[in-house]
Amino acid sequence: MTQPKRQLHLGAFFFGAGHHLAAWRHPDVDPNGYTQLNTLKEWARLAEAAKFDAIFFADNVGMSQAPADMLTRNALPHVFDPMLVQSALAAVTDRIGLVATVSTTYLPPYHLARKFATLDHLSGGRGGWNLVTSGSEFEAHSFGLPHQIEHAERYKIAHEYMQVVKGLWDSWEDDAFTHDKANNRFFDTTKLHRVAHEGAHFQVSGSLQAPRSPQGYPVFVQAGSSNDGQDLAAASAELVFTAQQTVDDARGFYSSLKSRLPAWGRTESDLKILPGISPFVGRTQQEAQDKFDQLQDLIDPVLGVGLLSAFLGNIDLSAYPIDGPFPVDLPVGEGWKSRHALFNNMAQRDNLSIRDLYKRVATGRGHWTVVGTPESIADQLEHWFTTGAADGFNILSPTLPHGLKDFVDLVIPELQRRGLFRTEYTGRTLREHLGLRRPAHPNAGVNGQ
């Protein structure tokens, strides 16, 4: 029997008015659109009609404390709670996966387990949790902490958090609710389990009220790419988002992460890796280039420098000449370590000035940028996909919805023509779209099943 052809997985990453730093100033963009439910519904339906695996929302829990004169130049990407947005979108979509970002640093695990169980039920098994540990000082300030918890410690907490959350999601066996009216038994008491967790960071005793969710667990997504981030992903993640600039770097990351799986009793197919891509698509190369240039010309240098500074842990770059070399010897803080390393590598490899670097990363905060025709973009995606660099891609549209529409109308048909992407959904749950198994309940079979 012939194996079905391996196909790409695609995520539609929604981010304010678009991922480009200047997206909100593009003449075609409605800067307020993404705060309207009707607009978000339209975008979700567009992604679903194109058969994306999932819609993805990132998040921060706090408002940057950068100077207001700098902040006012930027659109606010994370105005709403992504869990609530995804719950609203669950009601107006049928098949597409719904991934929301929630940090393990600021929400007690019981709340998180309950919210994602709810999303998974309400959406009929389409929920996914993007586990982040947060990486900004201002987020710590929102919760009364003078500083963020150290990077390594955040990841230790996240490992324990996962244990607790999984335990809570296993509170009920899949067939616990018998609704036996004759004998007056709503559920089978042998199929209710209790978490009794006494750990270094959490003490949780009890069970979740929500029945085990349609997917067993919502899909675990992870986006930290540092060494500690990869270890956490290897332990638990099923979908990994990552920012990689070149196919060689992406292959290195892909093999580094996949090689860690056996140590956790997992196999390569248990985890899918989706690098981000910011695509500028034109019917001709010139049209794509014009779209790219139009947005690049709108970048405000104050904001460009501010973007770098924010990712480097609010390091003040004003002492450095904007057209002088990007200082690659800056101290690495407790924030986003992998992004700091990525920016350093880009600057060193291509000898970039501060201005060059912010222009490179303005398209999608350091994610891979491609400017081309549908064919040339499909060629590049296919190359990454077939040479061990990716299982698919997270699409960071430069503007929303126009950039997404370009990808949907022009690139997806080309991928489909090559047999690289589905033309119809074959499954109903996010796990089924991604080819992931549903986790069995640890007690399945123990109670005579």
Ligand X SMILES: Cc1cc2nc3c(=O)[nH]c(=O)nc-3n(C[C@H](O)[C@H](O)[C@H](O)COP(=O)(O)O)c2cc1C
Site for ligand X in 15-44 (CB under 6 A): none
Cα 74 to Cα 1, 156, 307, 422, distances in angstroms: 54, 33, 10, 36
Site for ligand X in 55-74 (CB under 6 A): 58-60
What is the DSSP-derived secondary structure letter of residue 400?
T
Whether residue 232 contacts residue 224, with contact meaning beta carbons closer than 8 Å, is answered with yes
Reading the block at residue 385, the tokens are: 């996909």
Q: Work out which of 86, 87, 104, 134 binds ligand X, going by CB under 6 A.
A: 134
Task: Give the contact letters, 169-188, x = binds to ligand X (CB under 6 A), - = no.
Answer: --------------------
Q: State in angstroms the smallest separation of the CB of 182 from ligand X.
A: 50
Q: State in angstroms the smallest separation of the CB of 221 from ligand X.
A: 9
Residues contacting ligand X: total by CB under 6 A: 24
Q: Which stretch binds ligand X (CB under 6 A): 88-96, 113-121, 288-296, 330-338?
A: 330-338
Strands (E), 67-134: 97-103, 127-132
Among candidates 351, 346, 316, which has minimal Cα distance to 331?
A: 316
Q: State in angstroms the smallest separation of the CB of 57 from ligand X.
A: 8
DSSP string, 332-354: P-SS-HHHHHHHHHHHHHHT-BH
Residue with tokens 């067939």: 175
Site for ligand X in 272-301 (CB under 6 A): 276
Whether residue 339 contacts residue 307, with contact meaning beta carbons closer than 8 Å, is answered with no
User: What is the CB neighbour count within 10 angstroms for residue 210?
Assistant: 18
Q: Work out which of 132, 288, 420, 436 binds ligand X, going by CB under 6 A.
A: 132
Reading the block at residue 231, the tokens are: 């270890």
Q: State in angstroms the smallest separation of the CB of 444 from ligand X.
A: 32
Reading the block at residue 53, the tokens are: 């695996």
Q: State in angstroms the smallest separation of the CB of 105 from ligand X.
A: 9
Site for ligand X in 99-118 (CB under 6 A): 101, 103
Q: Work out which of 18, 167, 224, 282 binds ligand X, going by CB under 6 A.
A: 224
229 is a contact residue toward ligand X (CB under 6 A): yes
Footprint of ligand X (CB under 6 A) = 58-60, 101, 103, 132-135, 223-226, 228-229, 241-243, 276, 336-339, 394
